[in-house]
Every structure is written in structure tokens, then in C-alpha cells.
Structure 1
Amino acid sequence: MSTDSTSTEISPSGAVPARALHADLVGARIDWGLAAGVGKRLSRPGPKMTSYTRDAARAELADAAVRAEGPVREVTGLADGLAVPTARVLERDEWIDAAALSMRSMLSGALDDADPSPGLSGRIGGLQASGLLAFLSSAILGQYDPFSAGPEGADDPGVLMLVLPNIVGVERSLKVVPSDFRLWVCLHEVTHRVQFSANPWLRDYMLDNIAVLTSETGESVGELAGRVTDMLRGDKPREKGVIGAMQLLQSPEQYDALNRMLMLGTLLEGHADHVMDAVGPAQVPTVASIRAAFDKRRTGPRNPVQRIIRALIGMDAKLAQYIRGKAFVDEVVSTVGMDRFNTIWTSAETMPLPDEIDEPAKWIARVL
């Protein structure tokens, strides 16, 4: 997933199968219909455009998503011969509807099992989620969603989404060539689609870890407090910020699942950024100026409210995923080549471990 400041996707042995995650554990606690409805009312309007400009941008983005497929497949060596799907070019309110549906599906395991009457707690959760959806609806440029049905229905999982007003807004802000910027964004998002279509096990891998993260630990309040106290007093190193807080509050099994999710997300984002830059010079004439302007924007200063929101929803951690992940992929590919790098997509066991992301030679030694 691309944001203008910045897709994360897990069947490790012993993990609870995603289909066993009953809706009443997580999905039914949030009224996603309410979340989408309020989120759309809270969402800010996009940049002003004439109908002609909007229609032209929509057509160009749809075309760019198709044109990006060939170069991405050639560079990655993935998804060769598979059909080229149609991307969805969305307005902000349409993205909110799609995101709410995807989250409900992902967290409930299956839409048909979700409780249609989530109750008071579900409505409270929906109101909380609405603010997040509204905020993200103006930040996300594109997203590959592996949990929603594609154009061909249930037998075609996954859909590529591009948020038109956000892409137009950023290209205007950066003063870049619109056609080049649109293709550049599509190269990143199409790489995510190719990652999942070429490696279908990734979707179940993610769902299995989400099942662990959302399962009930069975701990009493006293047991939780005791475990947190022991961790605070112990010598075991802990992460900083939001991740450190989650490490304290989660069971060891849940924190391991979180780490697997983070490592996969780092790999996926870094791989997409690597491919985007590898393909860019041949396909996007102004790629150097786009990359410089985009990186300056997403690492630039923010006002205090933006900094708080970014920290709470993990957008700064997301940015770190791009940087660490791309450095990992760059080094491995330059050392062993893309064909041998693609061993990484074999199984959960070939995914990079936390200490290997920053020291790619360790991954090469262990896996290759």
C-alpha cells in the first residue's frame, strides 16, 4: 500500500487456521457499516477537478495499471502468464466502503459468519474505526487488497485499488508530470498484486497470524499485570513506541505473530520499492525527480496533530518498512540476483527473520 507519507500481508506451523477464527472474536465487535457511513461523512473533500479532468485521470490510471504489469513481471520473474486484472479507480468514499468490507472480511474470517447485530460495543468500535478510515482515505494512494473478490468474483481473489483524488492531489503538490507519477504509483501497487498472485500462500499466511493476534489469551487481569511487571523488571530488550507497548500487552505467541506480520510487511514494501526503482528509469522518464520529491514529502515535518496520529496508527513504522525492506532487497538482489532472491517466496520458513532484515548476509547464509 502506498500513502503520501509512506500493504501488509501471513501458514506458519502450529498457527490457528484463519477459518477457525469465529466472527465474535473480532469482526463482530466492530460495526463496519457504521464505521464506513460515519467515515465518509468525516472524510475531507479531494482536490477540485472538472469532470473532464477526473474522467481523463480515471482512464489514465486504469491504463497505467495494465501497462505496469509487463515490466513488473519481467523484473521480478513472478506471475508470468497469469491474466492481467482490472484495477479499481476509486473516490475517497468508495475507498472507505471497500476498506471497511475488506477489514470486516479479514477480521471475521468470512462475511457470512459475521454477526449482523454487533451490539453497543460494536457501534462504539465502529465510531472509533470511522475516524481511522476517514484519515486514511485522504492519505492512501493505492492498495492491493488480497481479501476482497476481484473482477471475476469469488474465484478471483484480490483487487488493486487506486484512489484518484489522492494521486491527483500529490502530483499537483509535488509539481511532477502527472502521467509519469501515475505510472510510478501503479508500478508499486502492481508489484504487490504480483507478489500475492504468484504466491497464493501469502494470503493464508497473513490470515493465520491475524487469527493468533486476535485470539483470546485466557489471561486474567492479574496474570496480565504480573506478566507486564515481570517484563518491565527483566533484562529482555523491548521495542520502542507503539510496538513496545504491544509487546508488553500481548502474549508471547501473539507477539511472535506480530513480528511475522511486520517482517512480511517489510519484505513486501521493500520489494515493491526495489521493483519500482528498477523498472522506473526505462518506463518513467522523470523517475529521478519524482523519487526525490516524493521522499522529501513523506519524510518532511508534520504538525503536532499529524505526528500524534501518525504515531498512533503506525505510519512512521510503515515508512521504516519501506526503508529497511528496500535496503534488504537491494543488497540480496545485488549479491545473488533476482532469480535466487525469489527463493524468499517459497514458504514461511524462507521469510526473513527480524535480525536478518538489517543484515541480509544472515538471510543469504541461512536460506541460500
Structure 2
Amino acid sequence: MDTTEFRLINWDLAAGTAAKLVAAGPSLTGTEIAAVVADLRAKADESVEHVHRITGLEAAADLRDSQVLIVDRPGWAKANTQSFEAMLGPAMEHLAATRGEKISEAAQVLSSTATGVEMGAILAFMSSKVLGQYDPFAGLLRADLPSGGRLMLVAPNIVAIERELKVDTDDFRLWVTLHEQTHRVQFAAAPWLREHLQSKIAELLASLLAEPEALGERLRAAASEVIRGKKDLEAADAGRPSSGDTGLLAGLRTGEQKAILSHITAVMSLLEGHANVVMDAVDSSIVPSVRTIRQRFGARGKDRGMVEKWLRKLLGLDAKMRQYADGQRFVSRAVKLMGMEGFNRVWEGPENLPTEHELHHPAAWVARMGGSPAGDQTPAGN
């Protein structure tokens, strides 16, 4: 079977569905939109110097292999369908080679249409929540794109939140771009990281897609969570059990699958935690009203928390993937024990990445890196 024709998700349909379903953003004139786009681009450029100073990563001095895009909600959704398709490419090729003959063309069409619509519903929901995103896999899409990734800032969402919080516009936009630019710098400092993550994700997906029917079932369950709303998430927020485990990864069975997921979890927690540590290093000399922004943004944290909880539910990681909190505690403790320069060894190669166990026991990682004595096993957060 021709692998280029083998599709279990109609990504064009997903992007089109998301564009139709996406909620309207704040009302802006053409002149206002142009001003917001120009200002966000300027803030993104300005934030790099601060990330460089806080992290000490020299990669921040040259980010030419990646790009900054200011997008609207449909643009963010379409960009993510492109990246998902690129990431799924190796897994699709494997599935076509091993099981393609057993999956009829009619079944493919039905499956790809259904999952395309469901993925579109998920992306439509998410497109109104995300402020920014660094996509390290954009360079896989086309040869004419930069070899690195792309940083996307979702302009209507940033404007909506700054209006809701009634915060200083200049300060809030710089505060947001600092976090996202940190991710961009991380991948510039570790050019091997994109390929490493892609290979691990492809390995996990190839295993999951060995039963393509299950993918459709999981997507349908995930999409239904969007349609049903926030009932289960509100229950989880109140400490009550949810109605069930319907995540895309709920069907993980083998030890190998769980080991790969454990590694991906640790890496993603590291990236998010490091970005949050950089955010915490931002003071009033950089963002004058940072205390007000943190207070008001934290007070409205139910929305952001719901998105994060929904993502964990979508992926089946409610109890496992506490990216921000776990990663931030790890990075903070490791930097305290080693200093920022010592901690930056984490970007030198995949062998220096923390395991999921080390994520919760940073002193063990520090000892492995030749830092403090291995006897200091204080868990992260203590």
C-alpha cells in the first residue's frame, strides 16, 4: 500500500472543523490587529535577552533556525494539525507497511473522517485557551521552512486575557513571551532534543496505532469530553472522582509503552518546569507590574487549570503528568544544588535528561551529573 495515501485522520478536515467551531475572539479593528501583531513581535524579540541573562544559555544569542508567528485561533489550530501530521508520519508509515493491507480503503475513509471531525472539535476548544506555544516539529513540515521550530503567539487570546485581568498591556505581553521564548531557547541549546523527542513519540504512537480502531475510540471519547463540558474537570478540581478514564493513552498495557511514556513525561516536565523557573526570576526591573499580573492571573487560574487538567485527561495523565509543578520543583532544587551553569548540563545530550524518578528526587540527578553527594536524596519541593 502507498504510505502517502494511508491516513487514519483527515487533517484537512480537522483544521476546517476547528475553524468553523472556534469561538469568536475579542472585537478588534484592522488597525488594532496590526498594532497588536507588531507589538507582540517586538515583545518576543525583547524577551530573548532576558531569557539569555536568566538562563545563561548562549543559544539565546542566535535563534535563526526558528521563527516567530503571530496567529489567530484558526491559524493556531491549522498549525497544530500540520505538526501532528508530521509527527505521526513515521508511525503511519510503519502501520501502512505492517497492517495496511488489512485496513480497507472504505474503513480508512470512515475512520479518517470521524477522527478528523473529532480532532477538529478538540482543537477548536483549545484554540481559545492557548496564549502561546513553541512547536519544535515545524521544521519537519516542508523543506522551505526553518529547520528548527516555530513560536506561535495567539493574539486574540492574549488580548482577551489582558482585558479580562485589566493589567498593563506592555507588561503582560512581555511576561507571556518570556515563557514561550524560554522553550525556543531550550531547543536551540539542545539541537538534538527535537529528534530525540520525535523518535520517542513515534515509537509510542507506532505501538498505540497497532490497533487503529482504538485510536478512533479514544478520540471520540476525548472529543465527547469537550462536548460535555467541564463536569468531570470541575469534580476533579473539587477533589471528587471523575466519571472514568477516557484518555488517548488509557490503553497503555506493556511495560515498554509505559517506559516510553515515563521518559516523555520527564522531558516535558523538565521543559515546562524550566520555563516556569525563568518566569519566577522575572522581577519588577523587567516587568514593573509583575506582582499584579501574577496575582490576577493566578486568581483566574481556574480556566488555565481546567485546560491543563483537560489535557491530562485527554492524554490519560491525570495523576502522572504534573508538568509545571513537578518540573519546577526539580529545576529549582537542581539549580540550588548545582547553580545554573551546572544545571545547564541537562541540555548537553539525551543521557543527561532526568528520569521520572530523578524528577521527584533531583539530588539523585545532581549526583549522577557529578554534583552534590548522592546521599542528599531530599525530594523535590522539600
For the aligned pair, the TM-score class normalised by the smaller chain equals: 0.7 to 0.9
Contact 1:331 1:360 in 2 (8 A): yes
Letter in 2 for 1:82: D
How many pairs were matched up? 323
- Partner of 1:250, secondary structure, is coil
CA contact 2:266–2:355 (8 Å) conserved in 1: yes
* 8 Å CA contact retained: 1:42, 1:131: yes
Which whole-Å CA distance do the structure 2 matches of 1:83 and 1:245 have between them?
A: 34
Give the secondary structure class of the aligned counterpart of 1:157.
Answer: coil
Q: Report how far residue 119 of structure 1 moved.
A: 2.0
**Of 285-294 and 185-194, the range deviating more from structure 2:** 285-294
Structure 2 SS opposite 1:156? coil
Match of 2:330 among 328, 333, 343: 328
Residue 145 of structure 1 is matched in structure 2 by 135
1:255 has 2:285 as partner = no
Q: CA deviation at 1:344?
A: 1.2
Q: Which residue of 2 aligns with 1:234?
A: none
- Seen in structure 2, the aligned counterparts of structure 1 residues 336 and 357 have a Cα distance that, compared at 3 Å, is same
- The one-letter code of the counterpart of 2:167 is V
Give yes or no for the alignment of 1:191 onto 2:170: no
Aligned residue identity for 1:96: A
1:72–1:279 contact (8 Å) kept in structure 2:
no
What is residue 107 of structure 1 aligned with on the other side?
88
Unaligned runs of 5+ in 1: 1-21, 221-239
For residue 147 of structure 2, give the secondary structure of its aligned residue in structure 1.
strand
Matches of 2:26 and 2:289 in 1, distance apart?
Answer: 23
C-alpha deviation, 1:328, in angstroms? 1.3
Higher relative contact order (CA 8 A, sep 6+): 1
SS at match of 2:28: coil
- Distance in 2, Cα, partners of 1:331 & 1:349: 20
Residues 23, 346 of structure 1: alpha-carbon distance in 2 compared, 3 angstrom cutoff: farther
TM-score in terms of structure 1 length:
0.78
Give the equivalent residue in structure 1 for 2:297.
Answer: 294
Greater shift after overlay, 248-257 or 57-66? Answer: 248-257
**Alignment CA distance shift 1:361-1:309 (3 Å):** closer
Contact 2:347–2:353 under 8 Å retained in 1? yes
CA distance in 1, matches of 2:77, 2:176: 20
Which is worse superposed, 105-114 or 62-71? 105-114
Instruction: Please report how far the alpha carbon of residue 310 of structure 1 lies from its aligned counterpart in structure 2 after TM superposition.
Output: 5.3
Alignment partner, residue 23 of structure 2 = 44
Q: Which residue of 1 aligns with 2:225?
A: none
Give the whole-Å Cα distance in 1 for the aligned partners of 2:320 and 2:281: 21
Partners of 1:28 and 1:108 within 8 A in 2: no
| RMSD, matched Cα | 3.4
* SS state at 2:199 partner: helix
Alignment of 1:26-45 (within 5 A): 28-45=7-24
Which blocks of at least 5 consecutive residues in structure 2 are unaligned?
97-104, 212-241, 371-382
User: 94, 98, 110: which is aligned to 1:120?
Assistant: 110
How far the C-alpha of 1:112 sits from its partner, in A, is 11
Shift of 1:366: 2.1
Q: Percent identity?
A: 38
1:271-319 CA distance string (max 9 Å, x none): 001112213433111111212222222246989xx89845532596798
In terms of mean alpha carbon deviation, does 259-268 or 245-254 score higher? 245-254
1:216-235 to structure 2, matched below 5 A, reads 216=207
Q: Which amino acid in 2 is paired with 1:130? A: G
1:312 equivalent in structure 2: 313
Q: Deviations over 1:109-138 (max 9, x none)?
A: 4999999x8522111111111111101100
